[in-house]
Structure 1
């Protein structure tokens, strides 16, 4: 005897008729399950994020879900940390080691589980009751939600769209982590370059201050010029201290993006930012590129499609919220004189919600407004994406022109002024004040040149974000933090 037959036989005898009804309901459930049931993907839905990372970033990313995944990722991170970090290697380390990104991939796994669950038919409900008294009554029923079974394919399709949106959301988080890592890398290297330059300048100023002190002791330099030399040195000393603090802070921000700790913190950064490219990129179709490639825009499109299907499903089921089909068996034993009469009754049952007060208009209106809300937000996002792409390209070109101007014009001119001032000072044609003013101007120009080069590389990252996604702010909203090191001596006399 099969398990269901044995179960019912133990409880109430041999209810063949009920079993036939149960098998009918179960057959409907199995048929619906076979037609609409989804299964877990081998890679946990990571193909979209991994594909976008490979195509747009030329990097690898993986969801660490097994010991083998963790061991492989750890080995790659250790190998990359052995060499001085570049922006590309920093991004690759972050994609393998950033725990926040792994949490986003866990969210993708949760979304896949929700999709599979939505594709499963509802479990049938079994009820059993037994009443003892002058007569013994046993009643059993098994019911299934026929409406849920009928709408299972549509609900499974909606869940699949939502999972697709979750895949793109994981890809967008991958792009965001990569972009943040690049920005933090350029800031950290710029702070390191700036600190190195100021340290060298401070060393030269210290030598000059000591020389001024000795000259003052011999009477070859007056107290005013000595004080100016000492002030210049003291000012640079303060700037060096600020630069060191900034270097440490920017390095920590990079460490957060890389997800490093312990002995991994001893990695080496480059001493200077990369050189500017020969010419900037020309992107006449930057708006179209952003519209076709922005991941967040594609997420909004898919969510809108899912809402449209959900709206159609709500409209189709507006009059019926509940429709259950059940099989019922009633077994009654009654004592009559010296004998026992047994009565058996069976038959189908149905439960339908009667729309007396709510004809579904409220649900339909709500679904319609939710859909229109998403439609308007998608239209707004499309407009914003175009604007962000244009703005990012303008910032990119401006940052390139400014950084190039410092390299081609301002720094060479300051070098000429400094050299000529030194020649005139040695010839006794100018005093210390003129020499120090030229030195201050040269230091400020070099600081500005380093910051301009940093801003260019950050703007380049912002342009990529504006085209493919992964950012939460406009390029013009990004605040520069390195520019605070200009020192009190900028205007000091």
Structure 2
């Protein structure tokens, strides 16, 4: 009977045993992912290219990172640094190594068991028995276990690649936040310098008896608030830089990189929503990982049901030597009788695991579909906000400054009203930069939901102006109409063109701002351009404002007039 069982032993189990032996003898786990583990998944989804041989190799890693840090940091360089140095990704790479180890373990069977017995006979002599046994179930299910392990490794690849893309999205979001915080800090510093100059000028006006103490305190308070805002902005820029360095895994001298990159403008045209939904359904790595998990557990359930009766069955070979020298040899088989335990618990566990996996697939599909829909709507809204800044708010603030400049030239308002209008214009520029940041953050979240870079990323082109470009292109405020007032020390609000007392009033143009073209909006698909403001040289008819008749210069500059005593409350309205 034993001989017949051995002769019927499945040939594929013997082949699987031979393969397992070979794998066990030569297997080794590298400290970094193999190129074929993640590279195809990342490249097909627009992920950064990575030299995987540099991961875990200190010399090559330092050389690569040093080359990137020697140049002004860009978003692409930041992503490459993160691929090599990010602590979160190091953990993900280790998780992929564990998945490979599980594959190796799955194609191995338990080691054979060697047994030996020596029995003494009463009449003298000994019976010696030598046996070698192997777990039969392991041999029978080895091909199925190898198949399950390979499928689970594929799931792990999807899972780890999804985590890598998640870190990529986090780095992009941190980069946009850092760039904006740096520019906002520069803008707030400029406003604070201008407010300080305005307060200094107000002090000189007060000393000369030209303004009241109330106006002086208002300017001083505005300067203090501007300095506080600048300090908050500088602290926020430091926090955003620290958060980015933490994601990149940089410290010490490596964390002192320089960056002068500005935010890109919105892409010319957004992606087709139907295309994004299809890409998410077919290529989202989180979805693919959930589906692979369900596939593994469904296969495991079928295997558990098939082999539930075998239990701890073992086969072996025994050789017995009798006391008289006679030898007995042949195969052996041990069967576990499923009397009390028929594998019900194993089957129930496998069924529950599969049900949970199927529920996770449904949840992931629903979450992905809703996230893509919400992301599309958010991007559209943020794009409209950017458009309103470019086509409406910023040009309107520029026009207000131009009109206030004209009124100040004709001595209809004081210099401080003009400065306040200028501050509001700078606030509009800051709000514009923050709107562009929010637009790109919304796109990052949409790409995270889709599971890859958005196709329209290929059209990223022009960028927003740098803060210094905004400040350099601002028109000077001519205070020459205030005879006897020394404005030579009024700096910080881009008064480089200040001519001084006695100079001819110079009209202001608000359309020359580089990088903020409100006439054509190249690279922006927002419809017809906004109308340009009226030329600054057009005479001002004071009767057009508030339905009141024209006032004389003396009446308008009366320091006891309430509108001039508290000019900070209505500087946002068009004069």
TM range (shorter): 0.7 to 0.9
1:139 match: secondary structure: strand
Within 5 Å, which residues of 2 pair with 1:203-218? Answer: 203-218=193-208
Distance 1:359 1:392, change over 3 A: same
Which residue number in structure 2 is paired with residue 411 of structure 1?
A: 394
Which residue number in structure 2 is paired with residue 235 of structure 1?
A: 225
TM-score (norm 2): 0.71
2:68 match: secondary structure: helix
Which residue number in structure 2 is paired with residue 393 of structure 1?
A: 376
Higher relative contact order (CA 8 A, sep 6+): 1
- The CA distance in 2 between the partners of 1:108 and 1:59, in whole Å, is 18
- The CA distance in 2 between the partners of 1:163 and 1:371, in whole Å, is 17
Which residue number in structure 2 is paired with residue 352 of structure 1?
A: 335
Q: Would you say the 8 A contact 1:329–1:344 is kept in 2?
A: yes
Distance 1:157 1:267, change over 3 A: same
Identify unmatched segments of 5+ residues in structure 2: 454-566
2:44 match: secondary structure: helix
- The CA distance in 2 between the partners of 1:23 and 1:240, in whole Å, is 86
Q: Would you say the 8 A contact 1:40–1:116 is kept in 2?
A: no
Which residue number in structure 2 is paired with residue 99 of structure 1?
A: 87
- The CA distance in 2 between the partners of 1:257 and 1:55, in whole Å, is 24
Distance 1:45 1:118, change over 3 A: farther
1:384 CA drift (Å): 1.5
Higher helix proportion: 1
2:143 maps to 1:153: yes
TM-score (norm 1): 0.82
The range that moved more, 401-410 or 345-354, is: 345-354
The range that moved more, 397-406 or 323-332, is: 323-332
Distance 1:331 1:223, change over 3 A: same
Q: Would you say the 8 A contact 2:152–2:292 is kept in 1?
A: yes
2:434 maps to 1:444: no
Which residue number in structure 2 is paired with residue 308 of structure 1?
A: 298
- The CA distance in 1 between the partners of 2:103 and 2:309, in whole Å, is 26
Which residue number in structure 1 is paired with residue 257 of structure 2?
A: 267
2:113 maps to 1:125: yes
Match of 1:456 among 416, 433, 439: 439
Which residue number in structure 1 is paired with residue 234 of structure 2?
A: 244
Q: Would you say the 8 A contact 1:189–1:271 is kept in 2?
A: yes
1:58 CA drift (Å): 5.2
Q: Would you say the 8 A contact 1:188–1:247 is kept in 2?
A: yes
Q: Would you say the 8 A contact 2:280–2:449 is kept in 1?
A: yes
1:308 CA drift (Å): 1.2
Q: Root-mean-square deviation (CA), in Å?
A: 3.2
Distance 1:147 1:71, change over 3 A: same
* 1:280-315 alpha-carbon deviations (Å, 9 max, x no partner): 334432211110110111111111111111011001
Which residue number in structure 2 is paired with residue 3 of structure 1?
A: none
Which residue number in structure 2 is paired with residue 4 of structure 1?
A: none
Q: Would you say the 8 A contact 1:195–1:243 is kept in 2?
A: yes
1:151 CA drift (Å): 0.7
Which residue number in structure 1 is paired with residue 17 of structure 2?
A: 33
Which residue number in structure 1 is paired with residue 310 of structure 2?
A: 320
* 1:155-183 alpha-carbon deviations (Å, 9 max, x no partner): 11000111111112221122112111111
Distance 1:46 1:271, change over 3 A: closer
Distance 1:187 1:113, change over 3 A: same
Q: Would you say the 8 A contact 1:287–1:386 is kept in 2?
A: yes
- The CA distance in 1 between the partners of 2:220 and 2:570, in whole Å, is 12
2:37 maps to 1:54: no
